[in-house]
A and B are shown apart, each in its own frame.
Chain A
Amino acid sequence: MSGRFLFGDILVSDVVQAGLPLETALDVGAFKLVPALTVVAMLALFLGVGYVFRVAAVDELWVAGRSIGSIENGMAIGANWMSAASYLGVASLVAVSGYFGLAYVVGWTTGYFILLIFMAAQFRRFGKYTAPDFVGDRFYSDWARGIAAFTTLAIAFTYAIGQASGMGLMAQYIFGISYEMGVIVLMAVTIGYVALSGMLGTTKNMAIQYVILIIAFTLGLYATGWTEGWATALPYLEFGSEVAEAASIEAQFVEPFAEAGYYAWIALAFSLIVGTCGLPHVLVRFYTVDNERTARWSTVWGLFFICLLYWGTATYAAWGGLLYDREVTDGGGFSGMSGAESDALVVLTTQLADLPEWLVGLVAAGAVAAALATTAGLFISASSAAAHDIYTNLYKQDATQREQLIVGRLTIVGIGILVALIGLNPPALIGELVAMSFAIAGTVFFPVFFLGLWWENTTQEGAIAGMLTGIVLSFGAILNDTAIPMYTGYEDHVNATLATWLPGTSSALLGVPIVFAVIILVSVVTTAPPDEVKRLVRQCHSPEPMARTESAEDAAGSGAPADD
């Protein structure tokens, strides 16, 4: 069946022809039974697993009793990590931005190494559930905890908008409904899913979600390579001639600095790397394991599982570009594809390669799984930030578990509705939206995490000043080149110089050194932290093994009077 299309120049595959006005080359016209059943079966599986492992107690909702091994936790890291941005967004950015897009590949993989060597085991030893908990305890301040909780909510919100956008695109293909309808339906499903299953169910689910999404992504990749005659056993190393061909169509595909300069490339990769180390929902994964050694090895496994997908993203980009050029624009290149088309490029590639509908549908269902898994993790960290860190710690000290659960669930519903509203008309590509949340995490959280763990004299005043500076820089950058232009009359950006040096997606390259400097300066001139806090930090680096449910506070607290 493929032969007809192999060298055919003008034959547009019949699915595309059937489409409505060609806003998108993706086949969005019709309801597709088998793909729809795939998604429904997948959701039923997730909810079933969530039901079997359901929890009622708030402590269990958040940390799953720490009973998960390194391979399973590695898969959970992978699923938690790889959202619609990895699954759909990266290939999209490589296709339209060429070599610049590879900064996303580098940033979203290699950051795990920094997390591993500087932070994973130390965080596990600290033994706190959430990013605000860590910040609040390490910096002995409810204000610091509140700022961290606010940042957690902002990250979850920005991150989830990209997921809503990916869900809408996939729903268009699978159910034949409008993009807007797709965003609303799948976001509602996500909210219901998170509310029904707790964290234990979610962790089990995440391993399953990883397996589903990697099979879907990889099967689509191999099948495209085979039917087009482009690859056999290892497509990741076999798409060289297609890269050359894509480069002959669109020279900027491989030209190093055609799309953006060296500074922009480095700034983006750096922001994504430090963002990896600052993401609250990633850190939670280290609390669900037995001990620090498992924390280390599950990070390694997690990176492996992540690489399995990322190695395929550039392949999809090159192949998708060629197929788009051949089937859609008929030799007119592929850099002009619309945002909706590029963000659906992974699925579009398999459709243009004329793969059977069930397989294209499976690839689309994998994208839904990726978006759902990550959104669930984000919503859980957001709900715990709101219920535990803002409501209980700052507002009502004696809140019951039931009250906390209610506040947590209301937060999930509230954020879900807001995300769906913005997602109806997303202000940027999926990958760019998610990169913005990384820039926030990298600028605000990475410095306080890093200094908090590695310099015991970091003070609460230093941390608070640093986080506030980080919020101003990262939020300001996003307002300048994305949020304000999107909703007002400005074109592209408010201030051009600012947009060049402090892009919304990459503000951390300048932001992190500035925030480090602020924290260190303020810490030097303010009173050193109390001894029990210093002992907490020392306990994070001691070689002494720790008991499964022990936190640094328990272990270090014996010699010093407890403060709460």
Chain B
Amino acid sequence: MTDNNSHSGTDSSTEPTVETDGGVRTEEYLDKEINIFKPATPFMRDHLKVIWASFLAWILVVFGPVTGALLAPEVFAETTVLGGFPLHFVLTAIFTPLGALVLSVAYAMQRDRLDTRYGISHEGASEVAESDTVAADGGD
């Protein structure tokens, strides 16, 4: 599949790959190795970009406040907000779960957008899937 290789060179950010390898030809995907560090198909590459970006944001949200309280206690533990909360306390108790929720929504929407770009519809999935319905309007 030499055409795949030429893609990976050029597919930086805009409108990748849909037009030529037509998104959803299962046989091809069943021939490509699955390795989280070596995505072998355009769809995997795009999907993993979303995954890694949101994963990094999640690490900040989850471990940021407690690490802040360790490294800069004068900022996190001694600032009070909202009528008495120490900053690290309210960040950890309320905003970390909220941040994870917001990131989840963002990921799920981004993944839906990816589906649209690759012409994937789960609505008709209970019928036999129509594998040649590539989105004509191509994503976002």
Contact = CB atoms under 8 A, between A and B. Distances in A.
A is bound by B: yes
Interface of A: 94, 99, 102-103, 105-106, 109-110, 112-114, 116-118, 121, 236-245, 247, 254-257, 262, 265-266, 269, 273, 290-294, 296-297, 299-300, 303-304, 307, 310-311, 313-314, 454-457, 534-535, 537-548, 555-556, 559
Nearest to A116: B104
Contacts of B107: 113, 116-117
B66 A237 contact: no
A556 B31 CA distance: 10
A247 B104 contact: no
B36 A454 contact: yes
A311 B129 CA distance: 42
Nearest to B42: A543
B105 to A, nearest CB: 6
Contact of B98 (A241, A257, A294, A307): A307
8 contacts: A102-B89, A106-B66, A112-B104, A243-B84, A290-B125, A311-B93, A311-B97, A544-B29
A105 B93 contact: yes
Given A102-B92, A105-B93, A556-B30, A544 B70 contact: no
Of A247, A254, A269, the most chain B CB neighbours within 10 A belong to A254
A236 B94 contact: yes
A228 to B, nearest CB: 15
Contact of B26 (A112, A239, A265, A544): A544
A542 B30 contact: yes
A291 B32 contact: no
Given A293-B122, A454-B36, 13 more contacts: A99-B69, A110-B61, A113-B58, A254-B77, A257-B69, A269-B66, A273-B62, A293-B115, A311-B94, A456-B35, A538-B29, A538-B31, A546-B129
Contact of B121 (A106, A113, A545): A545
Contacts of A538: 29-34
Contacts of B131: 544
Point out which of B82, B84, B127 has the most chain A C-beta atoms below 10 A from its C-beta: B84
Contact of B101 (A291, A303, A548): A303
A547 B89 contact: no
Interface string B54-80: 110010011100110110010011001
**4 smallest A-B Cβ distances: which pairs?**
A244-B84, A240-B84, A240-B83, A542-B29
A291 B118 contact: no
Interface string B99-134: 111011101100110010010111011111101000
Contacts, number: 204
A262 B97 contact: no
The secondary structure that dominates the B interface is: helix
A109 B100 contact: yes
B66 A543 contact: no
A99 B32 CA distance: 47
A34 B101 CA distance: 37
B104 A240 contact: no
A94 B80 CA distance: 19
Interface in B14-55: 23-27, 29-36, 43-44, 47, 50-51, 54-55
B105 A269 contact: no
Contacts of B101: 109, 300, 303-304, 307
Contact of A545 (B43, B94, B124): B124
Contacts of A103: 66
A303 B88 contact: no
B26 A240 contact: no
B108 A110 contact: no
A314 B94 CA distance: 9
Contacts of A555: 26
A121 B107 CA distance: 12
Contacts of B90: 237, 240, 243
A187 B105 CA distance: 37
Interface string B6-20: 000000000000000
A110 B93 CA distance: 11
B125 A541 contact: no
Contact of B70 (A257, A296, A547): A257
Contacts of B92: 99, 102, 105-106
A201 B139 CA distance: 40
Contacts of A314: 89, 93-94
Contacts of B125: 290-291, 545-548
A99 B66 CA distance: 9
B22 to A, nearest CB: 11
B108 A240 contact: no
A537 B88 CA distance: 41
Contacts of A99: 69, 88-89, 92
A444 to B, nearest CB: 20
Contacts of B63: 266, 269
A366 B136 CA distance: 51
A451 B131 CA distance: 29
A559 B61 CA distance: 44
B39 to A, nearest CB: 9
Nearest to A538: B30
A103 B84 CA distance: 21
A361 to B, nearest CB: 28
B138 interface: no
Contacts of A102: 89, 92-93
Given A110-B97, A299-B104, A294 B122 contact: yes
B30 A296 contact: no
B122 A292 contact: yes
